[in-house]
Structures are given as C-alpha cells and as structure tokens.
Amino acid sequence: MQDYKNPNLLLSETDFEPGKVLWRSPSNLAIVKYWGKYGVQLPRNPSISFTLENAFTETVLEYAPRTSGKEGVQLDFLFHGEMNEPFRLKMVKFLKSITDIFPFLNQMDLRVQSANSFPHSAGIASSASSMSALALALCSVEDELFDTLGDDDAFEKKASFVSRLGSGSACRSIFGTMGLWGEMDGVEGSSNLYALPYADNVHDVFKTFHDDILIASKSEKSVSSRAGHALMEDNDYAEPRYRQANQRMKDLLSALQSGDVEKFGTIAENEALTLHALMMTSEPSYLLMRPNSLKMIEIIRDYRQRTGHQVYFSLDAGPNLHVLYPEDIVHEIRPFIENELVQYCEDEIWIPDWVGNGPVQI
Ligand code: PMV
C-alpha cells in the first residue's frame, strides 16, 4: 500500500533559501456521503462531491532554515491575520503526524497564514478547504526543494493523499468539477488512499451546477465529524448503509453521465437525509438539523412541485442547506431564495456558490 513515507526528503544543506508558497483551495459538497471510517482515515464507502468555487481557503506557507536549534515542528500560525492557538496546535499535531512523508519539516521554521473566503462564524465546515490548501502548499515546498513532483498527476495524487490524512473529505477538493474517493467497481484507479478527478464522464449540465449555501444556524456543531464517524462503528444501520452507498454511487454515476438531473437530485436529497438519519440513530443519538433546516427543506420541495423547477437540497454534517440547481434556472431560483428562504437563514446569510475548477496556486 502506497504510504508516501520517504526518508530521502531531507535537506543536506541547512542554509537553503527561504521560500513562500500560496494556494487557494475550495470546499466541496458530497453528493454521496462519506460517513464511517477505519484505519487511518480510510472510508467505509466510496463518495463523490462537487468542488465549490466561492467557498475556499487561502494558505500562505513560508519556510526558512531553522535558527532556533529547537527540535520537532516549529510553526507560527495566523488565521485571518490573528494568532489562534487552538488552530496552531491542531496544525502542529497534523504536521508532526506527517514528518515521515515530509521529513524536511523538522529542518525549517514554518509560518502559515490562512484565511477563508466565507465568514468564520457562518458555521461552514472549513476542514476540506483548509486541509487541502495546506497539503498543496506542502507538496509545492517539496517540489521547490527536491524537484520531485513536476508531473501534475503525481503532484495531485500526493496532495490528495496528504489532504486525506488531515480530513478525509478534503482529499476530494484537489480536483475541479468533481472528486471521487474510495474503491469502487468499474472506476479504474479508484482508491481509498486518495481521490480521483471526476469530470470526463460528467454531463455538461452538472459542470455549471449551482450550490448555494443557506446558513440555517451559525452555531458550532455540537458533535464533531470525528465523533460522528466513530459512532458509526456501533450503529445498527452501518452495514446496510455501506451497501446502500455503493448502490447509490452506481446510480449517481449513471445519472451524471446521462445528464439526468431528477435522478441526481433524488439521490442528493436521500443522501443528505440518510446522513442525518445515521446521526439520529447513533448511540448516543444526536441531531444537527435545526427547525429552520426542515422549514427550508419543505419550502424547496413544495416549490419544486408547484413550479416543476429542478431544484434540490443537500446537507453537510450541520444545519445549513445546500441548494442545488442547473444554471438555466438561476434567474428563477435566486429570487426564490431571496423571497422565500432567506428569512429562515440566521442573520439572512447565504452564500451563492457553484461547481468550480479546483485549487489554484497564486
Ligand atoms: O472529512 P470529515 O472527516 O470532516 O467528514 C465529513 C463527512 C461529510 O462532510 C459529512 C460527508 C462528506 O463526504 O463530505
């Protein structure tokens, strides 16, 4: 099994040139969800997501020869220009866990500055965008210092692998349009270790799909994704769920290929509600949807029935709604959101977003 451990990535000279890399990496929205894991962030079932455009993290990573003589990972960290000790400690822990992949991290002083495009307090999970941005930056540093990742595919594969170690779902954010993660019959090269770009077999209608994010509540999640994945281990529905996810992946890939928006939307909604049903049926049980999440779901379904417009919803592990619809009805759906849904958003916050082209180095 590929693990990317590489003791050769050590600098022989300790007075190398200081450098700086900057990556912008997007968040993603799973249509078939990853929920349940084993080993080191390995998924119990395959998943696939839209890569977003507007919700992203920008990460600047500066490195310089170590002057302090201290051991281990040495990191300064600024989030939105301010020191943030809890985030810094989380990042140090993650960097320490990957020093066998990037041994040179122990030879430098690091400074990371990170900022999200969306308000930190909006209750949008940022682990996918932030972990993928960091992983891309680390791969760029490796390539600058050792010239090892010049091939784009090799670079992206390693960046996806490293992102996965930071946050499972982050491994899909490396690729534009859609990312597919997890072994799946019929998808060549699919792996539990990293995601694959998934755009070639996707009908054009989905390449410009909208994915607006409606903030039902800005509060922090009461149960983390990490705890949620762990609760799947004793969930009575776990095994049937993994079977179901595999079947839904097959059905979804065929809908993506043929451009069947209705089938796509039905799967997206069922997946969102299944994810939350799994939370409700865990022990202890928990609920992340809020009354306004349900209210908005009902309004979307009612609007779809009334108008025939193909607008659907999804949810992440939180109360906020993702409103999914094709580009050709944007002039109907935007006013619908403004007139009928925004009143159920906390502080009337919603973030227009759509399927994007993936990360960029700046
Ligand atoms: O990447 P994690 O460990 O935060 O898990 C997130 C899983 C979901 O967002 C709920 C679903 C998914 O596949 O992205």
Beta bridge partners, 324, equal 211, 312
pLDDT, tens only, 292-349:
999 999 999 999 999 999 999 999 999 999 999 999 999 999 999 999 999 999 999 9
Q: What pLDDT shows up at residue 13? A: 76
Are 176 and 197 in contact by the 8 Å Cβ rule? The answer is yes
pLDDT, tens only, 178-220:
999 999 999 999 999 999 999 999 999 999 999 999 999 988 7
For the segment(s) 204-351, the CATH number from 3.30.70.890, 3.40.50.1110, 3.40.1080.10, 1.10.357.10 is 3.30.70.890
Residues in contact with 132: Cβ distance below 8 Å, sequence separation at least 6, in sequence order: 25, 26, 57, 159, 163, 166, 170, 171, 173, 174, 359
Report CA(29)–ligand 1 centroid distance (Å).
9
Let me know if the fold of 19-201 is the same as that of 204-351: no
Q: What single-letter amino acid sits at 244?
A: Q
Kindly report whether the peptide bond that precedes residue 86 is cis, defined as omega within 30 degrees of 0. Answer: no
Q: What pLDDT shows up at residue 166? A: 97
Q: What pLDDT shows up at residue 194? A: 98
- 3-class DSSP assignment, residue 310: coil
Ligand 1 site-directed mutation target among 90, 198, 314, 316, most atoms within 8 Å of CB:
316
Number of H helices, E strands in the chain: 9, 14
Are 284 and 223 in contact by the 8 Å Cβ rule? The answer is no
Instruction: Give the predicted TM-score (pTM) of the model.
Output: 0.97
- Give domain limits for the chain: 19-201, 204-351
Atom number in ligand 1 closest to CA 224:
4
Residue 354 gets which letter from DSSP?
B
Residue 28 gets which letter from DSSP?
E
DSSP string, 249-311: HHHHHHHHHHT-HHHHHHHHHHHHHHHHHHHHTSSS------HHHHHHHHHHHHHHHHH----
Mean predicted lDDT score pLDDT of the chain: 96
pLDDT, tens only, 121-169:
666 778 999 999 999 999 999 999 999 999 999 999 999 999 999 999 9
210 lines ligand 1 (CB under 6 A): no
Architecture of domain 19-201 in CATH?
A: 2-Layer Sandwich (3.30)
Report CA(359)–ligand 1 centroid distance (Å).
19
- Going by alpha carbons, the residue nearest to atom 9 of ligand 1 is 316
Report CA(209)–ligand 1 centroid distance (Å).
21
Calpha distance 346→162 (Å, rounded): 35
Calpha distance 249→105 (Å, rounded): 38
Per the structure block, which two tokens stand in for 313?
């919803």
Ligand 1 site-directed mutation target among 31, 34, 47, 130, most atoms within 8 Å of CB:
34
274 lines ligand 1 (CB under 6 A): no
- Going by alpha carbons, the residue nearest to atom 4 of ligand 1 is 225
